Every structure is written in C-alpha cells, then in structure tokens.
Amino acid sequence: MKIMVCLKQVPHKDARLDIGGDGTWIKEDGIKFEINSYDTYALEEALQVKDAEEAEVVVVSIGPDRVTQALRTALGMGADRAIHVNDDAMNGSDSLGIAKALAAVAKEENPDLVYMGLMSEDGNFAAVAPMLAELIGIPHTTAASNIERSAGSLTVDREIEGGAAEVVELQTPCLVAVQSGLNQVRYASLKGIMAAKKKPLDVKTVADLGLDGQVGAGAAKVQVAKIAPPVKGETAEILQGSNDEIVAGLVGKIKELGLL
C-alpha cells in the first residue's frame, strides 16, 4: 500500500500580510511558514493507515528551499519518504501547473491512495486536488469528513451543506481531498524528528519531471493581477474609548435591541 500525500507550505495563520513590490502577492521575507493545516489532516490520515497496516507514506511538496523544513516535519511525524519539487521554473504556476507537476510525480510513484487538503490557506483555490485526480485518471472526492477503507474501494463522507454528508464510494486507486477536522493531527516526537534526518528527501526539477514549457508563469492560463486589502463598503462602527466606555456602549446597544 502506497499513499502519496501532497502538502503545501503556507504563511503561518497569524503572519503579517504585507503586499509585495509588484502588488501580486505578499512579501515572504521575515514571516513564518507552516504546513497548510488542511494538508496536516491528510498526512495524519495517511499515517493512521500506516499505523494499522503495512503502508509507505510518501510526502510531496512544491516550492523553494524553505519547503525542505515542511517536508522534514512531515517525515518527523512518520512519513517514509519525501519528494521536493524545487525549481524556479515553477514560479507563477496556476493551479493546473501545480497539478501537472504533482501528476508527473504520481505517475512515477503509482500510489494506491492520494490524500491532500481541500484547499490551501493562502490561495484558497481548492483546485489542485480534483485537477490532479483528472490528470492521473483516478476518481476523487472532496471535503472528506470520514474515510472508511475496504478492499478495492474507499467509502467517504463528503461534507455538504447544513451539516449533512453525502456518502460516496470510490474505487481505488483514488484521491481524497480532506476537510479540516477529519482527525486529530499528531505531533512529531523527538525520536521521530531525529529519525527524519536520515529519511530520503529527493529533489526534482521541472526537467526531471519532463514538464518544460508546461508549468510556470509562461504556461499559466490565469494569473493574479493584483492583491489588495478588501475594498470595504460599510464596515462596523468601532466603539472607542476606555474599557468602561466600551462596555457601556455594548450594554446600551443590547438594551436598544430589547434583549435586556
């Protein structure tokens, strides 16, 4: 059983978001990065399979040198091997470009299962997972809130509106994009972190994957023209003053609403 887990390293949840020079993304210098939280649930799910039976968990990520840190963390949590696609030629890729790179890795690895997060917390595109499934010709589902495995198939609860779930059955090999809260994500133990240093971490280039001309800014069909703080229409009236004045203001409003 081989499980491929795709993960993305993203700015930390509380990182300062300053718009960069050309206005198309945020400044990355001086901020902390972390593994995209949705992907941590995917990794945990794969590691639970490994706890239960013989399985190889291969983690894959795309990005610059800093991504090594994220992959080592994943190896420390228990993944067996890591693949780092590290090549400036990937810069400016749209979701499809990212999916193509992951598909190239998947075609070499031939996993039984592909797990990844529903979306990344920086771009929030929620695009790569279904795209990857299409490119490698396997069935998929998204927003998984429960996964049951049987011989030859997966039965997955997919979150739909109103707290309900739709149950789908996928023949393996298949891809599942997981929803946050799928499980309780483990911490890397000290022993795990030490062992991680010796686990294989292979670096691949765009040329290695045979993707020249298919990825990066030049191949992207959509691009971010500009990012900016939201144009706020009406926003909240902000209560000013001392704590006492603020509390008095709140009490006054609650009274006005007839709730006190």
Partner 1 sequence: MGSILIVTEIQGGQIREASYELAAFANEVGAATGRDVHSLVAGKGAEALADEFSKKGGGSVHLVEGDVFENYNAEASAAAIKAAIEASGAELVLVSNTPSGWDVAPRVAAGLDAGFVSDCFKIEVEGDGVGFHRRVFNGKLDAHMTSSGGLIVATVQPGAANAFEGSTDGSVSKLDVNVGDLKTKFVEIKIAESKGVDLTKADVIIAGGRGVGAPEKFTEVVQPLAEILGGAMGASRPVVDAGWLPHEYQVGSSGQVVTPKLYIAVGISGAIQHLVGMKGSNYIIAINKDPDAPIFEVADLGVVGDLLEVIPALTAAVTEAKG
Per CB under 8 A, which of residues 11..30 are in contact with partner 1?
A: 11, 17, 19, 26
Nearest to partner 1 of 11, 78 (CB atom): 11
Report the residue number, 53 or 230, with the smaller CB distance to partner 1: 230
Strand 174-178 with 81-85, pairing? unpaired
**What distance in Å separates the CA atoms of residue 221 and residue 131, rounded to the nearest whole number?**
14
Q: Is 194 in the site for partner 1 (CB under 8 A)?
A: no
Query: CA 176, CA 153: separation in Å to the nearest integer?
Result: 12
Run of H or E residues at 166:
strand 165-171
The DSSP code for 116 is E
Are 95 and 127 spatial neighbours (Cβ–Cβ below 8 Å)?
yes
Q: Are 180 and 37 in contact (CB under 8 A)?
A: yes
Contacts with partner 1, 195-234, as mask; x by CB under 8 A:
-------------------------xxxxxxxxxxxxxx-
Q: Candidates 55, 165, 195, 203: give the one binding partner 1 (CB under 8 A).
A: 165
The nearest distance, CB 115 to partner 1, in angstroms, is 16
Site string for partner 1, 49-78 (x = CB under 8 A): ------------------------------
Decide: 156 and 168 in contact? Cβ < 8 Å. Answer: yes
Give least dist CB 174 to partner 1, A: 7
Q: Which stretch binds partner 1 (CB under 8 A): 70-78, 109-117, 119-127, 194-202?
A: 119-127
| Least gap, CB of 58 to partner 1 (angstroms) | 22
Q: Does 143 participate in binding partner 1 (rule CB under 8 A)?
A: yes
What is the H or E stretch that residue 195 is in? helix 190-196
Judge contact between 128 and 6, C-beta under 8 A.
yes
Separation in Å, CA 28 to CA 18, 146, 181:
9, 35, 28
Binding residue (CB under 8 A) for partner 1 from 170, 196, 206, 215: 170
**# residues near partner 1 by CB under 8 A:** 84
